[in-house]
Amino acid sequence: MDEWKLRTPYFVIDEEQLAKDFTILTDSLQRSWENYRIGYSFKTNSLPWLVTFLKDKGALAEVVSDDEYALALWLGYTDREVIYNGPVKERESFCRCLLAGGMVNMDGQRELGWLEEVCRRHPKRVFPVGIRVNFDLEKLCPGETTMGEAGGRFGFGYENGVFAEVVERVRKIPNARIAGLHLHSSSKSRSVAIFEAIAGMACRLKREFGLHLSYVDLGGGYCGGLPGRPQYPDYFPAVAKILRREFSPEETMLVVEPGVSLLSKATTFVTSVVDVRDIGKERYLITDGSRFNIDPTMIKSGYLFHLELRKENGPQRRTMARQCVSGFSCMEVDRLFSYENGTELAEGDRIVYENVGGYTMSLNPLFIRYFPDVYIRRRGRLLKVRDRWTPEEYVQKGMRFGEERALWDADREEDQPE
Ligand SMILES: Cc1ncc(COP(=O)(O)O)c(C=O)c1O
């Protein structure tokens, strides 16, 4: 296949690289703590091909909303293959997961009420549940956490005694059992020290509350694919060393919920220069990709990329001091980077962004352009696994003007006095 003939922009997932990274993950878990499960973080990228590829390799679905839960079921996961996390669970799916034997990590007071209700309704069954802990990780790893001293908002606070109250409340339910702790914490550093601190906290809570845990869930937040940064084989031996102070693989399963670390190395985003313009002193390259495609939350300070130069644009190119690479949208902030002291680019040249698998394909706004094509690369060939969205996908069940009239009439009929 001549990739120059493909219409840009598009994402490519390299299947072999993805499989390789998954194997590095499983090998290092197997060596460090043979009793483990991987829950793939749906929110990171819930592209159906990707999710089912990981399912095929044995990953569970880590979901944080009713919609993600429904997607997991739609894609063939059973309830028992779901890890249900996050603060916006819904009552019905919470109960469903609990009753079916999925892994539920409670993250809010209303879920305690739902647990009590399920237990009351099914007095002959015992319901294992997990509790999401919020603890002061910043104190243990100064400067490394995402929220710093302000702290995060997920889970039940350890330091202020709320976690202890929750433990007490669950213990009062005769047929509920605290089976797991969920300790995901976001960090800027994604360092090994962060995960050592998380493991240390699990040990501390076990001791302090006399817990008998079937699982410890470390959550996600690992580094992946970046040279000079920690890799999976750096994290798990360090974590296991600490966990062994209080736990054993025979009794307690280690759960991990990787997202971005699994996808980074395997994923690229291919864009083309569509226009070159000089305004004032600036050279602007307008491209058909956007910051919204690869950095929708606008937090990245730089991008990894390589160029693919169109040979029709000539072999000899001059070097330019500065070219401003910008996106297709009409927003001025949609500038990706300043390309300095590089080849002068022209229409049709390609800029290929690397490490763009996480928080991209499914976190694109539908702004000006819809979702782009997604391909996988298998043995050197590209296969399209998602077609770019067209107005058909965008409109969905949306009505055109006038079609709402039937609703209006029905509504008015209902309001008529009998
Ligand atoms: C509970 C939970 N698990 C897993 C993840 C995945 O994290 P990452 O993509 O950084 O590995 C997140 C991300 O915020 C999360 O909140």
Q: Give the start-to-end residue ranges of the domains of the chain.
A: 3-10+267-395, 33-263
Residue 294: φ, ψ to 5°: -115, -5
The one-character DSSP state at 311 is G
Residue 239 identity (one-letter amino acid): V
Instruction: Indicate which atom in ligand 1 lies nearest the CA of residue 44.
Output: 9
Residue 275 tokens, joined:
């226009």
Alpha helices (H) in 272-321, listed in sequence order: 291-294
As a whole number of angstroms, the distance between CA 290 and CA 369 comes to 10
As a whole number of angstroms, the distance between CA 41 and CA 60 comes to 9
Alpha helices (H) in 254-354, listed in sequence order: 260-263, 291-294
What's the whole-number mean pLDDT along residues 285-307? 94
Residue 417 has pLDDT above 90, yes or no: no
As a whole number of angstroms, the distance between CA 66 and CA 77 comes to 14
For ligand 1, atom 10, which residue shows the shortest CA distance?
A: 221
As a whole number of angstroms, the distance between CA 309 and CA 329 comes to 23
pLDDT score of 395 = 95
Percentage of residues of the chain with pLDDT beyond 70: 100
Query: What kind of fold does domain 3-10+267-395 have according to CATH?
Result: Lyase, Ornithine Decarboxylase; Chain A, domain 1 (2.40.37)
Place of tokens 């997932």: 13
**Mutational pocket test of ligand 1: of 43, 132, 198, the residue with most ligand atoms within 8 Å of the beta carbon:** 43
What's the whole-number mean pLDDT along residues 85-106? 98
* pLDDT tens by residue, 182-208: 999 999 999 999 999 999 999 999 999
Question: Cα of 185 to ligand 1 centre, how many Å?
Answer: 8
As a whole number of angstroms, the distance between CA 42 and CA 83 comes to 10
**Mutational pocket test of ligand 1: of 25, 38, 41, 183, the residue with most ligand atoms within 8 Å of the beta carbon:** 41
Q: Among positive and negative, which fits the CA dihedral 390, 396, 401, 402?
A: positive
Question: Cα of 221 to ligand 1 centre, how many Å?
Answer: 6
Q: Among positive and negative, which fits the CA dihedral 302, 303, 306, 311?
A: negative
Percentage of residues of the chain with pLDDT beyond 90: 92
Question: Cα of 331 to ligand 1 centre, how many Å?
Answer: 29
Question: Cα of 64 to ligand 1 centre, how many Å?
Answer: 10
Pocket of ligand 1 (CB under 6 A): 41, 44, 62, 85, 184, 186, 219-222, 257-261, 358
Residue 385 identity (one-letter amino acid): V
Mean pLDDT for all residues in the chain: 96
User: What kind of architecture, by CATH, is found in domain 33-263?
Assistant: Alpha-Beta Barrel (3.20)
For ligand 1, atom 9, which residue shows the shortest CA distance?
A: 259
pLDDT band at 312 (very low <50, low <70, confident <90, very high): very high
Instruction: Indicate which atom in ligand 1 lies nearest the CA of residue 262.
Output: 11
* pLDDT tens by residue, 158-167: 999 999 999 9
Instruction: Indicate which atom in ligand 1 lies nearest the CA of residue 358.
Output: 9
* pLDDT tens by residue, 363-388: 889 999 999 999 999 999 999 999 99
pLDDT score of 418 = 66
Listed in order, strand segments (DSSP E) in 15-107 are 36-41, 60-63, 82-84, 103-106
pLDDT score of 89 = 98
pLDDT score of 415 = 77
Residue 225 has pLDDT above 80, yes or no: no
Residue 395: φ, ψ to 5°: -70, -35
pLDDT band at 1 (very low <50, low <70, confident <90, very high): confident
pLDDT band at 224 (very low <50, low <70, confident <90, very high): confident
Query: For residues 216 and 346, is the Cβ–Cβ distance under 8 A?
Result: no
Residue 32 tokens, joined:
């460090």
What's the whole-number mean pLDDT along residues 272-300? 96
From 205, 358, 259, select the one nearest 38 (Cα to Cα). 259
* pLDDT tens by residue, 19-59: 999 999 999 999 999 999 999 999 999 999 999 999 999 99
